[in-house]
Structure 1
Amino acid sequence: MIKEADPDDIDDVFELWRELLDFHQPYHPIFKYKPNSEQEQKKELLVRLKDKDTRFFGYVQEDEWQGMIIASLKQAAPGFKLSKKGYIAETVVKAHYRGTGIGNELFEAAKNWLIDKGADHIELQVSVKNTAAIKFWEVQGFTPSTHHMVLDVSSKAKKS
């Protein structure tokens, strides 16, 4: 069943969030995290958990968190037709539960919450190398609008 996470769920949320990052490690350096950074990462997740315009939805069966999606409402530039942006952040279903419909249920919960909060559109980012996720989001009705690009300059900054 779908459950809204609260700060007491931080360990379960963190476990799923780390699974998502670990899955994406080979895709791009942006998904890598520093060793021994668990406390800092949990602190950041707690800030997001407490944000009034953000919800963490978990799919929980018999006290096991099998999947999670994070949704936020953000005000875009008011001069645009679509200015109340719903944003889907991290979305993950444990590997052995993928393909069972959990992702669909999580997205429905997030989408309904965003619509209830006044979102007029929903955006997300997905790794270009995660073809299964791209297909999942296309089935949900998402289409590309931009091509998000990253330039890692961290090694150049250290030399300066």
Structure 2
Amino acid sequence: MVKIERAQERHIPDIIEIWKEFMDFHKERDSFFTRSKEGHVKFEEYLKEVMTSERAQVLVALEEKKMIAYLLASIAEHPPVFERSTYGSINDLAVKREHRRQEIGSRLLTQVQEWFSQHGVKRIEVRVATENEVAVSFWRKHGFKEYLKRMYREL
């Protein structure tokens, strides 16, 4: 049985391992996602910071006490020129390869949506790698739609 709970400091090593898999999966689609040598160290520092923030939520999915997924989200702000500048940002949703397509991501999303609602958030945004068709499909299935296209050019 899969249990969803708020991440604790003891979960950090397992979150980092899933993050590495998540980044490597994306690197296969776009070299932009290549991890730096110290990427995992910087990510650990970032995790410790957000795990203590009242404006962030890190959730983990555990199966028989083994971590199989995590979700990292925060309450963010667009510039104050917009009527509704506050929004929920889903930074990462990563499920171990062998546990995908088992509704674990959906359960994590449901729980973070409840947390956002409790904090008065009315809009949730997520950035999705264009080449990750599985993720694009997942987010569309859950009612997310495009409103911007982020573009780049190498110099």
Check whether TM > 0.5: yes
Between the aligned partners of 1:9 and 1:64, the Cα distance in structure 2 is 10
Q: CA RMSD in A?
A: 1.6
Corresponding residue number in structure 2 for 1:131: 133
C-alpha separation between the residues in 1 aligned to 2:89 and 2:115? Answer: 11
Residue 142 of structure 2: aligned partner: 140
Give the secondary-structure state (helix, strand or coil) at the position aligned to 2:93: strand
Q: 119-128 or 11-20: which moved more?
A: 11-20
Tell me the CA shift for residue 109 of structure 1: 0.7
5+ long unaligned stretches in structure 2: none
Matched with 2:50 is: 48
**What are the superposed Cα offsets for residues 69-105 of structure 1, whole Å, 9 maximum, x if unpaired?**
1110013233423322000111111111111110110
**So what's the TM-score if we normalise by structure 2?**
0.90
After the TM superposition, which residues 55-94 of structure 1 pair with which residues of structure 2 at under 5 Å, given as runs? 55-94=57-96
Match of residue 98, structure 2, among 96, 99, 104: 96
Quote the Cα distance in structure 1 between the aligned partners of 2:110 and 2:19: 19
User: What is the alpha-carbon distance in structure 2 between the residues aligned to residue 120 and residue 81 of structure 1?
Assistant: 12
The number of equivalent residue pairs is: 153
Match of 1:39 in 2: 41
One-letter code aligned to 1:149: M
Is the 2:95–2:104 contact (alpha carbons within 8 Å) kept by the matching residues of 1? Answer: yes
Does the CA-based 8 Å contact 1:14-1:45 persist in structure 2?
no
Counterpart CA distance in 2 for 1:15 and 1:148 is 28
Deviation of 1:3 (Å)? 0.8
Aligned amino acid, residue 96 of structure 1: E
Partner of 2:30: 28
Instruction: Name segments (4+ residues, structure 1) moved above 4 Å.
Output: none
| 1:7 and 2:9 correspond | yes
Q: Provide the secondary structure at the position in 2 that maps to 1:35.
A: coil
Task: Say whether 1:112 aligns with 2:152.
Answer: no
